Structure 1
Amino acid sequence: MAVKLTERAAEEVVRFRSEHNFGDEMVLRIGVAGGGCSGFNYTLNFDENFDEKVDSKFECHGVNVVVDKKSALYLDGTVVDWYDSLEKKGFTFENPNAVKTCGCGSSFQA
């Protein structure tokens, strides 16, 4: 499994999906894209497309997650969590493949 959602992260995904009336066919797509201050940005979005040839699909705490196979090379073992405090709110990524991360935590270098 390339990526794992914590229970808190899964609850936030379910809440967001419900709040925006997304149906069960919408999956959470996690990936990486070039850019950011460290080289790669994490991407999170909802998608209704899944292609067995280029994507891996799995279920984590009731959430269907899709990761494209190229991103999976950089995300293997990554844990996505939900952080909520007075100064910061959002998803966090604990990526064992990251050699360097930026201060905001949204980009990394592999």
Structure 2
Amino acid sequence: MIAVTDNAVKHLRELLESQNAAAGVGLRLMVKKGGCAGWEYAMKLDSPGAADRVFGPEGVSVFVDPESLEYLDGSQLDYSEGLSDAGFKVENPNAARSCGCGSSFEPKNN
């Protein structure tokens, strides 16, 4: 399960509206090899795939593929409004360590 904070929902709605996103489009949250800690988070606006799990309240969707969910299960998606680093952030309990900017992580079971 992925928890989506109210702040993330608000900003995702604004993003979808500003992009004139078609019905059914949401935020794809995934992990891929890379980054300074071994795995990095990636996000993009996308439509759901057949095997995706869908998270979020009605009207706002976050899509996660089964492979990424192994690394993200139990995480929380939030939105940070810092001066130099605004954007969607993942708080991941499955990370043994994260890089300084929070965009990559090393899984606990690595």
TM-score (norm 2): 0.89
Report whether the alignment pairs 1:86 with 2:50. Answer: no
Distance 1:61 1:4, change over 3 A: farther
CA contact (8 A) 2:31 2:42 kept: yes
Residue-by-residue CA offset, 1:6-43 (whole Å, 9 max, x unaligned): 11011111101101110222121111011000011111
* In 1, Cα distance between equivalents of 2:6 and 2:54: 18
Greater mean deviation of Cα atoms: 83-92 or 12-21: 83-92
| Paired-residue identity, % | 38
Conservation of the 8 A alpha-carbon contact between 1:5 and 1:61:
no
Please give the alpha-carbon distance, in whole angstroms, between the structure 2 residues aligned to 1:4 and 1:81. 9
CA RMSD of aligned residues (A): 1.4
What SS class does the counterpart of residue 18 from structure 1 fall into? helix
One-letter code aligned to 2:8: A
Of Structure 1 and Structure 2, which has the larger fraction of its residues in strand?
1
Q: How does 1:1-110 map to 2 (within 5 A)?
A: 1=1, 3-51=2-50, 54-60=51-57, 62-110=59-107
Aligned residue pair count: 107
Contact preservation (8 Å) 2:48, 2:63:
no
User: 1:59 & 1:93 partners in 2: Cα distance?
Assistant: 14
